[in-house]
Amino acid sequence: MDKFRMIFQFFQSNQESFMNGICGIMALASTQMYSAFDFNCPCLPHYNLAYGLGILLVPPFILFLLGFVLNNNISMLAEEWRRPQGQRGKDPAVLRYMFCSMAQRAMIAPVVWVSVTLLDGKCITCAFCTLVPVETLGNASHPRLSQGEVQRVLARIPCKEIYNGQQLIANEVAVRYLRCISQALGWCFVLLMTTLAFLVRSLRPCFSQAAFLKSRYWSHYIDIERKLFDETCAEHARSFAKVCIQQFFEGMSTDLVAARCHLPRKAPADAGEAAEKLLGITDWGTMNMALKSWHRCKPPLHLHPPALSTGNGWAGEGQPPTHPSEPRRETAAYYSWV
């Protein structure tokens, strides 16, 4: 349990680790889904290709979209892309970095699905069983069958229980031939994806390290800024609700005192702290205006240091800052009279 707790805490350490954990779980889920999937080839000439390629390509597309849906940054990316210019410019490099980062993580589960499917070989056997070279692997001269009849016989190769073309081509030979081709394609696909991932991860910082660091920094900044804004809004809403409820009960207490029902209670001490956290935003319209202003014109990313006050006034008004003088060094000399 301690190991699982440590792994869970690592996944929660930052957004990147969390999304890596989600993508890893989706990759494991894709393999479990494929192993639990009951593959049933229709064994018909006009349906085998559609069924085999559909199982090979449609689930990876769904997993790719699911990877985007589970990524929390997709809404942040859309918001940053669609927001007005305002007082803060939009950097296309940051948007590209965010999209590429999400796309790379969302591609993990589809790549695992395609790799497992190709290495298993059922989809390729079902999709391309009618393209088996009978002249090379079988006995094309044995029966005088039309092209349509040959296609119907070959379409039943994945269905061993209803296959009746052993005299044309052995079922084991055709299945082994197609499975070898599928596994070769699967290992080539795995090698290609691994090589591309290696090149992207290792060579990209070598060519544009400064641009890569800037894009990564501002991407993390946008994520942290959004979280802090949500936390600040939640804290403001809590303080607003606390003060509103406190004022409601104070009004009720005043009415009860006027009616001589019972004495009012003393206001709690934390009501003043909640009022201070409102920062002057004390009504519905002002809060809505603040939220619209945050969306339309976010503050520029330029921090101004606060002015420091001195004994004669404010520092920084055309006067150079005064530095304390260094203490004088005193040297003691000793003379001896001999």
Q: Residue 155: CB partners within 8 Å, gap ≥ 6? A: 43, 44, 45, 48, 129, 130
Stretch 248-257: mean pLDDT, rounded? 74
Q: Residues 15, 72: contact at Cβ < 8 Å?
A: yes
* The most confident of 17-31, 36-50, 175-189, 307-321, by mean pLDDT: 175-189
Gyration radius of the chain over CA positions? 36
Q: Residues 163, 156: contact at Cβ < 8 Å?
A: yes
What's the pLDDT band for 54 if we cut at 50, 70, 90? very high
- ∠ CA 57-16-91, rounded to 5°: 90
Evaluate if residue 321 carries a pLDDT over 50.
no
Residue 193 tokens read as: 């994806």
Question: If you write DSSP's letter for every residue of 96-160 in order, what string do you get?
Answer: HHHHHHHHHHHTHHHHHHHHHHHHH-HHHHHHSGGG--HHHHS-TTSS---HHHHHHHHTTTT-T
Q: Residues 173, 138: contact at Cβ < 8 Å?
A: yes
Report pLDDT digits (tens) over 191-227. Answer: 999 999 888 878 777 777 788 888 888 888 888 888 8
Q: Domain residues of the chain, as ranges?
A: 1-210
Report pLDDT digits (tens) over 93-151. Answer: 888 888 888 888 888 889 999 999 999 999 999 999 989 888 888 776 656 777 888 88
